[in-house]
Structure 1
């Protein structure tokens, strides 16, 4: 009897939640809100939004992403999703599916009530440290309404079960999607409704975005999903010399392209993880002052540890203009020494059809041992390779993605061994291959994320830019690392701000004001991340001796 009573209670809550979803979507009127969902705890406020649009895809394709393949959310939408796990619910909720008959059964009205329910634990993020991540635990319930018509209801676990009041999870009020379509398109009404702390971000440059409810609104979710689905097929050009070196033949290009696609996904995911919410299991915060957070990786196989600096700042320029600037000059900002290698060659050029997403790979040669670097190379950026100096190629991959709510320019350097392993190694069992992928994104990627300050998308009058820089230091060099990383950060901010304040055309770049970063590549103190990387690797090869 007790179990039947509990089952009936949960069924009633789901039914009421579904009516609330329909009301918010504008599909029905109601005289008053149900008291079960109308109360908001002290210190909390409701963030609610609705957006309707048409997707050029069948409802079944959307259901695969939104319900059945939720583990792909992070690699597909890393700019908003940090992590998601979806499991089968407890026995009571399982019995609700069974009592409805599941997907194979139809009720007297023609279709089953709830054909699938998932217990979801999710962490959502923005690419900045200034907006806290949002942790939610909710149930995603799928209901079939008719042929090619579905409802997806999200409801926080706090409404179904008693939860510790100290829980870090925000309460997700009845939210979800109403989907109606055919074999080629779907009209989707997306509803977001969540309780958040009244002062979730404090007073910082992201306050305008949060006050306008643009951070995690329904429109952002829909546009992000549309941009991902519209990418289409990737067209890749492998330059002949690179294809020959990596043994990429025409009949093998699909395997190479598949690995290139996976590499870009993992690089992008790793970048947004670091810039949005670095893992406390992997990173130690050394400093969080003056708007710059300096992090050190907890573990290292050598005496040098990866260090990251992360910051956000406001630029009085449109996101599109900032994006175009960074596509052209981000390597100069973050890997300036790379520009002074010899024998520059293009290796790969790739673009996705119907998408503002592209990837390029280029190589330059550098001395194999640091004793061949002339004195002053790191401060002058001189092109100088002594006769007879053994060299090896380093590869820089850059991916550019332009979107209405978030654009990014991400760069990552790989050495010859990493590149050859990625393209030539035969795939083994999944666990070993995943470890290999992790090795290919060491050191961690650097890049920029650009968001509009308010409404207006790419043409908004101001941009919010977040970025990371990397450099290796010893464990005992804390003070030096903090000082150095701050100077790198401040140099980049100064350069971008000065450029965006310059009224000339893009072809009239004011190199006089940007010289130390873009021309010399020294950030005014003599080194940058790529130079440090070369020094690190050559030291490892010679046991730390010159």
Structure 2
């Protein structure tokens, strides 16, 4: 089904635009733009270079069967878990139809109240571009594929089916140790009653138990709760085709299904919504009214850069990889890195993942929030200590953007850091900012970051950490992926930094407590470091 696709060639058929949202949840049917019409907004899927799925060669009957069985499986699990749903008269017949029908598929479930109208939630989910951005902790990239006249056929049989989208996506763990997982599936939207919606994702091969590729069945039930909130039930299961002989430090959480469980999707969505409501505090510089949106956009691009660094196949327009897939440390050069004032930006990145035993992800996260800044400023010469000049954070502290600076000569050197705390995955990521950038985007607000090209936003090397739990429970241990800028003596700097970080986490003066030799895979660097 996959085809090679150059950039800017992904079609956007069947995506819902802003103008197609209903005025209020349940007030009218959600409308879809006609086939071939553009969505009217720039999209990340158009900027990525990965396979596009063409319209699958399915009969209308197969589209109907996939919808019917996927919807029944999802709703059966949801009604078993949440009694208010099973008590709805409109679903009584569905329970009778589903009796004896279930295949015993194990599915994770989660529920949450989301601070956005139900209609907005529906539109976000059905617009693949917005869906991808909302779940950037999980989704690396996505595209849509055509479904022919299937929607019209389905609506002739059931007018409550309002939309159908073909989705191709890549799911990414923040590590170079695991490949990305490709999924393609059909996304159906049904309005059960006014203000109550069901969105069902079902892979074409999900019910084919001889399948050899990844498959997914997921359901999202959305219920209107006032004008500015909605309640959701998320039901999810994914089957990943992974060789049994493949064993990495991430194998246990993959076996538990944690990376793409219902809880991970809902917690990521809640984090995204809270992040949008961040507020300034601890200000030591003036900020323009557009500074908040600019900081959110810059930090989002930082995360995309970080995710590209740990991608299975990094963008060859951005990076040149010097190591192989068999190596435990990835070393790669940045092909284009723009000098910024006094900042002597490095042109190499080093990435590895390590297992931190018996240390909970939250304690590791809190340590790395401080340690990351120490590492960044330790390479800058000159007297004086760096200081924080602003904080832009959520009220619960789940996301904090801070700006720090140190004076070197007549200029200030700035670093921007975003610390995102989550139950399933946390990030501590930073990048340098020049004095001109701080003045332009934060203090004066003369320009919007959205007006910049993505290449310019991503021209500065990003560094930082991704932290995931290594299993279930509060003391399950942690999995940490580190993306680090390399300076003039890379191997020495990196060895010392890894030692400092791991020793700090374990609060010991002993050597690195990991079971692997982190640097055995790059002996040529060790030799060069000794020679230099």
Equivalent position of 2:147 in the other structure = 90
Identify the match of residue 31 of structure 1 among 77, 100, 103. Answer: 100
1:499 aligns with 2:504: yes
Does 1:22 pair with 2:75? yes
Equivalences for residues 24-423 of structure 1 within 5 A: 24-27=77-80, 28=95, 29-32=98-101, 49-57=107-115, 58-68=117-127, 70-86=128-144, 89-96=146-153, 99=156, 112-158=159-205, 170-183=213-226, 186-199=230-243, 202-231=246-275, 233-237=277-281, 239=283, 242-243=285-286, 248=287, 253-277=288-312, 278-288=314-324, 291-299=328-336, 306-316=347-357, 317-338=359-380, 340=382, 342=384, 344-367=386-409, 391-423=410-442
What is the distance in 2 between the residues matched to 1:268 and 1:304?
18
Q: Distance in 2 between matches of 1:222 and 1:429?
A: 28
The one-character-per-residue Cα deviations of 1:17-73 (angstroms, maximum 9, x if unpaired) are 222222343554442557xxx9xxxxxxx9x532131314443232133223x3134
Which residue matches 1:439?
A: 456
2:337/2:460 contact within 8 Å kept: no
The 2-side partners of 1:200 and 1:366 are apart by 53
Change (3 A) 1:315 1:82: same
Task: Indicate the SS of the match to 1:91.
Answer: coil
Q: Which protein is richer in helix relative to its size?
A: 1
TM-aligned CA deviation for residue 498 of structure 1: 1.9
Provide the rounded CA distance (Å) in 2 between the counterparts of 1:84 and 1:6: 24
- Residue-by-residue CA offset, 1:478-537 (whole Å, 9 max, x unaligned): xxxxxx54444433332232223337xxxxxx6x989xxxxxxxxxxxxxxxxxxxxxxx
Aligned positions, number = 427
Q: 1:293 to 1:230 in 2, by over 3 A?
A: same
- Give the 3-state SS of the residue equivalent to 1:194 in structure 2: strand
Secondary structure, aligned partner of 2:215: coil
Aligned to 1:273, the other structure's residue is in SS state helix
Q: TM-score, normalised by structure 2?
A: 0.71
**Cα–Cα, structure 1 residues 10 and 323, in superposed 2: closer, same or farther, change >3 Å?**
closer
**Alpha-carbon distance, 1:290 to partner:** 5.1
Q: Distance in 2 between matches of 1:200 and 1:129?
A: 18
Residue of structure 2 in register with 1:383 after alignment: none
CA distance in 2, matches of 1:497, 1:305: 24
Alpha-carbon RMSD:
3.4
**Alignment partner of 1:466 out of 481, 497, 507:** 481
Shift of 1:293: 0.7
Larger Rg: 1
Shift of 1:425: 6.9
* Cα shift at 1:415: 1.7
**How many Å apart are 1:260 and its aligned residue?**
1.8
SS in 1 for 2:248: coil
Gap regions ≥5 residues in structure 2:
1-57, 81-94, 513-532
1-structure distance, mates of 2:280, 2:486: 31
Q: Distance in 1 between matches of 2:505 and 2:371?
A: 13
